[in-house]
Amino acid sequence: MRWPVQKFIISDTALGQRLDNFLIRQLKGVPRSKIYRMIRKGEVRINSRRARPSDKLILNDQVRVPPVYLPLQTHAPVSDHDMFDLASCIIYEDSHLIVLNKPAGLAVHSGSGVSAGVIELLRAHRSSEHFLELVHRLDRATSGILMLAKSREALLCLHKEWASNSIEKTYIALVYGVWRGDSHQEIIQPLSYNRGNSGLKSPRVLIDPEGKPSRTDLDFIRKYQNYTLLFVRPKTGRMHQIRVHLASIGHPIVGDERYGPPDRTAELRSLGFSDLFLHASAVSVSCSTLDLKRRFFRCPLTRNQLKFLSSLNSLVV
């Protein structure tokens, strides 16, 4: 299949959007890797000049996209059952915002062998929706609160709040090992990506003195035999930050096959649990430009997580 040269004139609905995000939305079915390759090779032009993925679009910009060749593919249609399950995950919605409780194992967007994630499923279900974009991302294995914007104004405002750390995020994590430290602890360790490890599905994140400043706050909840339950509050938003920081202090997250002990997987499965025990449990958010007053959203632990905790022996502290 061949798509001819395309030219997009930027209207107010795409104002301020990054070029890469704009093209990912417009070129449905085109792999992200192909989109980034076209930009890198200078084949995508903004007003006849070379462009970068991070370029912000302004009103009346002309974006030229070269011919795109794609093999013919057939994808299974989104089933009514899938959409019913996803719709039942929505815990809040208004004219600006959708908040849902994402199940573990569901990607937030397509890519890396995933044909459809949360955003594609919702767009397919709500084809009449004028605008729908992810405010932030969660790892596929992480469960809990995920926010989506229903307007460009909401997206820009919430991105600004997110970047300034005005949005307070709380996770619950079950980690290996019995907690010996103070009830409150801060992990301040710079992080960087090891992009040379091509055997991984995504870049491995490392503690690196020359990496980006990163901070995670921890609060003790409960000790179990061989495990500890923690509140985790990331103060920066680096990729895999929580997972790497907890592993760096000798308490990797239960079920983390990337940063945790690989020999514990069989043990977990024998106990009836195979997920990553990391849950986005609460978010506090506001957006002054939209008159969105401070709101607090909470998601309880999943049924599997609660069942696994009930099977553990709690330690008296």
Residues forming the active site: 139
Residue closest to 145 by CA, chosen among 96, 89, 93, 221: 89
How far apart, in Å, are the Cα atoms of 199 and each of 114, 202, 203, 238? 18, 9, 9, 21
Per the listing, tokens 């399950």 go with: 85
Query: What's the N-to-C CA distance of the chain in angstroms?
Result: 64
Distance CA 264, CA 225 (A): 15
Give Cβ neighbours of residue 263 (< 8 Å, ≥ 6 apart). none
Helix (H), strand (E) at residue 207: strand 204-207
Burial class of residue 160 in the structure, from the number of CB atoms within 10 Å of its CB (0-12 exposed, 13-18 middle, 19+ buried): middle
Distance CA 278, CA 230 (A): 10
Distance CA 33, CA 38 (A): 9
Residues 139 and 240: beta-carbon distance below 8 Å: yes
State CA 264 to chain mean position distance. 25
